[in-house]
């Protein structure tokens, strides 16, 4: 964390110093401001140089939870610096770029198989015409409305459990995107191994790179393809409907595979502590495909109020020569905004695979569910915009139904939708073997967000 804060301070000082240099491009300031708003960070207060806009965001989260803990107290209380982001975006002539770091508690450091670095985005958008572009570098994979929504523009403190089952996060690759009237499409090709992969020249048996297609109609709803918003603050009326598709055949790299060594943003289908086949020895190449639809709508109720809604449905399948796991999930939400308040309610679900299982270091394998009963989540949230949309206080109450909870006799209870990898405790040797059972878990959260 000390190293991260030093990096953050150095970049902030450099950006502020550079921003005070005399302007050499009188027309660049407008381009910089537009780029800043498109990135989901509105009305930046950090100084900027024409063509360059530094931005930042932090979120603090207070969290109380009630769970049936066989060892310790059933009620927990947490306080986190959930996010600390710093970035720069802008344009060089007609080429747009973005650079973003994650410096807060969201970034887990891993020593094996790789280190999760703090770089989130580093990409450039190159125009092919007035309405078609190529985006290249490291950025979000264009699949799922919820995953593409900017964290600062959610109506809730967190994404839903549907995102847990299908999230893809960021990767290195390129995408072609654009629109013709309301019709909007994006086609991307990515490595499939995730973000921040260290350079290493290993033996390889290449499969099919991750190929993603997202096409649909966008009628004045989404301002950008890769950076969406749920918030209705100063948002226009409109609607959108998209179809998502993804296919990848894993590549054998060294002693493992690209998908198997993915260190962050792993969906349940790619988590070796849920998918018993992806890391089974000897390692073999598998395939993953996902398909989904999503839609959104917003309309004015009166000059000061609006109603919005989103729905999404996803299905994914992983298969290799050892077996197959698949899951289905979805969400539906609605919000009412009347300045300075926004009230939202959301329902989400996951239908888990009966084959989800975990294998421990001793070789013991334990099934996680034993059935395919749905996991449900119902969340009610209210947001208060203290100062425009740059300072927002969000309080929400997420309730989980039928979610598996691991009770470790040494440490206590883990809610696996929040700590998916802690299922390994159920494979430990007696007398420390944990139990796993479905529970109803009630939480309450309070989040303060400030955008710089």
Cis peptide before 167 (omega within 30 of 0): no
Cis peptide before 383 (omega within 30 of 0): no
Per-residue pLDDT of the chain (452 residues; tens, 9 = 90+): 444 445 444 544 444 444 434 333 333 333 333 344 334 444 455 555 667 889 999 999 999 999 999 888 899 999 999 999 999 999 888 999 999 999 877 766 554 444 555 889 999 999 999 999 999 999 999 999 999 999 999 999 999 999 999 999 999 999 999 999 999 999 999 999 888 887 888 888 889 999 999 999 999 999 999 999 999 998 889 999 999 999 999 998 888 888 888 888 899 999 999 999 999 989 999 999 999 999 999 999 988 899 999 999 999 999 999 999 999 999 999 999 999 999 999 999 999 999 999 988 777 888 998 788 999 999 999 999 998 889 999 999 999 999 999 999 988 999 999 999 899 999 988 888 899 999 999 999 999 999 98
Q: How many other CB atoms are there within 10 angstroms of residue 115's CB atom?
A: 12
DSSP E strands in 67-207: the ranges are 75-92, 95-102, 119-127, 132-140, 170-180, 183-190, 204-205
Which run of H or E residues covers position 57? Answer: strand 52-66
**Count of alpha carbons within 13 angstroms of residue 138, beta-carbon side:** 17
357 near 368, Cβ under 8 Å?
yes
CA angle centred on 178, ends 239 and 146, rounded to 5°: 45
| pLDDT, position 360 | 83
The model carries a pTM of: 0.86
Cis peptide before 113 (omega within 30 of 0): yes
Q: How far apart are CA 142 and CA 360, in angstroms?
A: 34
Collapsing DSSP to helix, strand or coil, 317 comes out as: strand
Q: How far is CA 250 from CA 70, 75, 189, 253, in A?
A: 40, 42, 13, 9
* CA-based nearest residue to 141, from 118, 175, 164: 175
DSSP state at residue 65: E
| pLDDT, position 365 | 86
Q: How far apart are CA 86 and CA 7, in angstroms?
A: 10
Q: How far apart are CA 373 and CA 251, in angstroms?
A: 33
279 near 322, Cβ under 8 Å?
no
* CA-based nearest residue to 141, from 198, 185, 188: 188
184 contacts: CB under 8 Å, gap ≥ 6: 177, 178, 215, 216, 217, 218, 222, 225, 242
Q: How far apart are CA 33 and CA 50, in angstroms?
A: 9
Domain harbouring 34, CATH code: 2.40.160.10
In terms of C-beta density within 10 A (0-12 exposed, 13-18 middle, 19 or more buried), how is residue 286 classed? buried
Q: Which domain holds residue 360?
A: 2-18+26-451
| pLDDT, position 25 | 33
Q: How far is CA 24 from CA 20, 48, 49, in A?
A: 12, 13, 9
One-character DSSP codes across 151-188:
GGG-SSSS--HHHHHH---EEEEEEEEEEETTEEEEEE
251 contacts: CB under 8 Å, gap ≥ 6: 192, 204, 205, 206, 207, 209, 257, 258, 285
How many domains, the chain?
A: 1
């Amino acid at each position: 964390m000390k190293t991260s804060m030093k990096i953050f301070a150095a970049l902030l000082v450099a950006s502020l110093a550079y921003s005070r240099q005399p302007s050499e491009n009188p027309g660049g300031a407008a381009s910089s401001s537009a780029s800043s708003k498109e990135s989901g960070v509105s009305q930046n207060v950090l100084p900027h140089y024409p063509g360059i806009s530094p931005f930042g965001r932090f979120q603090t989260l207070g969290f109380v939870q009630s769970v049936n803990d066989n060892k310790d107290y059933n009620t927990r209380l947490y306080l986190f610096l959930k996010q600390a982001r710093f970035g720069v975006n802008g344009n060089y002539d007609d080429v747009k770029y973005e650079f973003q770091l994650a410096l807060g508690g969201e970034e887990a450091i891993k020593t094996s198989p790789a280190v999760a670095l703090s770089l989130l985005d580093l990409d450039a958008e190159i125009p092919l015409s007035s309405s078609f572009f190529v985006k290249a570098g490291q950025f979000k994979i264009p699949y799922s409305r919820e995953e593409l929504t900017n964290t600062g523009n959610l109506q809730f403190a967190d994404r839903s459990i549907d995102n847990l089952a299908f999230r893809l996060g960021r990767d290195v690759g390129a995408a072609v995107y654009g629109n013709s009237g309301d019709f909007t499409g994006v086609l991307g090709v990515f490595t499939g191994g995730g973000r921040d992969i260290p350079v290493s020249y290993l033996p390889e048996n290449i499969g099919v790179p991750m190929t993603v297609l997202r096409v649909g109609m966008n009628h004045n709803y989404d301002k950008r393809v890769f950076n969406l918003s749920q918030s209705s603050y100063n948002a226009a009326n409109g609607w959108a409907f998209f179809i998502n598709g993804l296919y990848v055949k894993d590549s054998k790299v060294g002693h493992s595979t690209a998908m198997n060594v993915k260190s962050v943003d792993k969906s349940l289908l790619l988590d070796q502590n849920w998918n018993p086949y992806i890391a089974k020895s000897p390692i073999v190449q598998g395939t993953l495909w996902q398909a989904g639809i999503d839609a959104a709508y917003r309309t004015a109720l009166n000059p000061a109020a609006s109603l919005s809604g989103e729905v999404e449905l996803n299905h994914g399948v992983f298969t290799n020569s050892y077996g197959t796991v698949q899951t289905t999930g979805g969400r539906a939400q609605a919000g009412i905004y009347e300045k300075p308040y926004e009230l939202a309610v959301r329902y989400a679900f996951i239908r888990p695979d009966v084959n989800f299982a975990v294998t421990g270091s001793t070789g013991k394998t334990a099934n996680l569910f034993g059935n395919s009963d749905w996991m449900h989540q119902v969340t009610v949230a209210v947001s208060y915009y203290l100062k425009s949309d740059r300072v927002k206080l969000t309080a929400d109450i997420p309730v989980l139904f039928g979610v598996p909870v691991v009770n470790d006799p040494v440490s206590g209870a883990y809610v696996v939708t929040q700590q998916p990898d802690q299922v390994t405790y159920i494979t430990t040797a007696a007398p420390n073997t944990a139990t796993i059972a479905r529970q109803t878990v009630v939480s309450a959260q309070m989040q303060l967000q400030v955008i710089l």
